[in-house]
Amino acid sequence: MLDNQIVESVRDNLVNNSCSLQNAFKDGIIMQAENDGSVSLVLNNQKTYLTYIPCEDENNKKIHGTKRKTLAKLFVNTYTLEELKIAYIEKIKAEQEKQERHIKSFEYMQELSNELYPLFQGYGRLEAKHNYSTCIAELEYIYKSISVDKYNNYSDRITFKLIDNNYYIKHVNFNFCQSGTTKEYQYTLNKLKSFIAELIEDYKTIESAEKIKIAELQKIQDRKIKIMNIASKICNDKENVYILKYNKSLTAINNNLKWATGEGKMGKYMHTNYFKIADMIQKKGITQIAIVLKDIYNSESYISANYININSLS
């Protein structure tokens, strides 16, 4: 880098990224280059650090001591303290104006949120947000659909920014575990409202389909619970023998023991539990069952037994 480029870089860093110039607003204070490559503020023979020439330039090339001393003198000869103070004041004023614009934009976004919120009809969450990196406030909208699978749903994350009377929209969408898509739009306020209306219609369609799936899943879950309760009742009953009928097969159960029964069948006793019984009922689609007192049960009880719908046991 050229000498004047290095000095200019030091000046920009001092004005924009340092607080050292706060000490320069005193009558009679002067700038002075030091032998170590730094620059001081001097008042009444008292020195205060202001800035320094770095040991490397922006290309990571070494700047040695003698050169740094020369560049410090060049800095003092190139910029007056008054020029640096004016630049610093302008920078502070620009930051204040930027912050004021940020505050105003946030207040506007709060008003816009109140205006747009009813259009979302209770779907999702809409909130004004500060964006400190751009100092332009924005609206953030987050929506997640109801879903039969809580780990796999339809979701939107949308940010709204107002720049030069146009609304800039960034729309990130995840469609049931598919890879996320990002789209950007530029709308007027009326077009933005139409965009929201289209979103809501999509949400209604999606949630209507998911509600059907949820209801179907709930029926399945309810059926499983019902079967488990029936199986538990069958397995834990010591007083009765339960004969389960499916197709041409018959299975007798009493007190966690089961055996095959029916014409010409004398199955061996096997230990069971209500999980296995529930699984058998569900997989084989068993709907008929008979209940016989254990004291009167025999191998021909299946013939005279009164078979009832298994759901009547729940």
- Tell me what pLDDT residue 117 has: 95
Neighbour count for residue 224 (Cβ, 10 Å): 12
Q: Which of 281, 283, 269 is nearest to 313 (CA)?
A: 281
Tell me, yes or no, whether 190 and 254 share the same domain.
no
Identify residue 136 by its one-letter amino acid code: I
- Tell me what pLDDT residue 215 has: 94
Residue at 95 is within a domain? no
Tell me, yes or no, whether 36 and 121 share the same domain.
no
Q: Which residues pair with 169 in a beta bridge?
A: 160, 185
Residue where a domain stops, chosen among 79, 105, 124: 79
Tell me, yes or no, whether 124 and 192 share the same domain.
yes
Phi, psi angles (nearest 5°) of residue 77 = -80, -20
Identify residue 57 by its one-letter amino acid code: D
Tell me, yes or no, whether 125 and 33 share the same domain.
no
Return the SS3 of 115. helix
Residue where a domain stops, chosen among 197, 213, 229: 213
Q: Which of 162, 121, 120 is nearest to 141 (CA)?
A: 120
Residue at 108 is within a domain? no
Tell me, yes or no, whether 208 and 118 share the same domain.
yes
Tell me, yes or no, whether 66 and 140 share the same domain.
no
Tell me, yes or no, whether 74 and 38 share the same domain.
yes
Number of domains in the chain: 3
Supply the pTM of this predicted model: 0.69
Identify residue 68 by its one-letter amino acid code: R
Segments of the chain assigned E as strands:
30-33, 38-43, 46-52, 125-129, 138-144, 154-163, 166-175, 181-187, 240-246, 249-254, 257-261, 270-271, 288-293, 307-309
Exposure on the CB side of residue 301, measured as CA atoms within 13 A: 25
Q: Which residues contact 81 (CB under 8 A, 6 or more apart)?
A: 24, 29, 30, 31, 41
Give the Cα separation of 240 and 61 in Å (integer). Answer: 94
Residue at 102 is within a domain? no
Contact (CB, 8 A) for 169 and 159:
yes
Residue where a domain stops, chosen among 79, 96, 131: 79
Tell me, yes or no, whether 203 and 122 share the same domain.
yes
Q: Which of 84, 25, 14 is nearest to 53 (CA)?
A: 14
Give the Cα separation of 269 and 257 in Å (integer). Answer: 6
Tell me, yes or no, whether 152 and 70 share the same domain.
no
- Tell me what pLDDT residue 178 has: 67
Residue at 103 is within a domain? no
Give the Cα separation of 51 and 9 in Å (integer). Answer: 11
- Tell me what pLDDT residue 33 has: 95
Q: What is the DSSP letter of 34?
A: -
Neighbour count for residue 61 (Cβ, 10 Å): 9
Q: What is the mean pLDDT of each run of 10 residues along the chain (314 residues)?
A: 89 90 91 94 93 89 91 95 94 92 94 95 95 91 89 90 91 81 93 95 94 93 93 93 91 93 82 94 93 93 91 84
Residue at 294 is within a domain? yes
Q: Which residues pair with 293 in a beta bridge?
A: 240
3-state helix, strand, coil in the chain (%, to 5): 45, 30, 25
Tell me, yes or no, whether 132 and 209 share the same domain.
yes
Tell me, yes or no, whether 138 and 209 share the same domain.
yes
Residue at 31 is within a domain? yes
Residue at 131 is within a domain? yes
Neighbour count for residue 255 (Cβ, 10 Å): 14
Q: What are the structure tokens assigned to 248, written together?
A: 């041409």
Tell me, yes or no, whether 62 and 137 share the same domain.
no
Residue at 101 is within a domain? no
Give the Cα separation of 167 and 24 in Å (integer). Answer: 43
Contact (CB, 8 A) for 257 and 238:
no
User: Which structural domain, as residue segments, surrounds residue 52?
Assistant: 3-79
Q: What are the structure tokens assigned to 184, written together?
A: 């950007």
- Tell me what pLDDT residue 1 has: 67
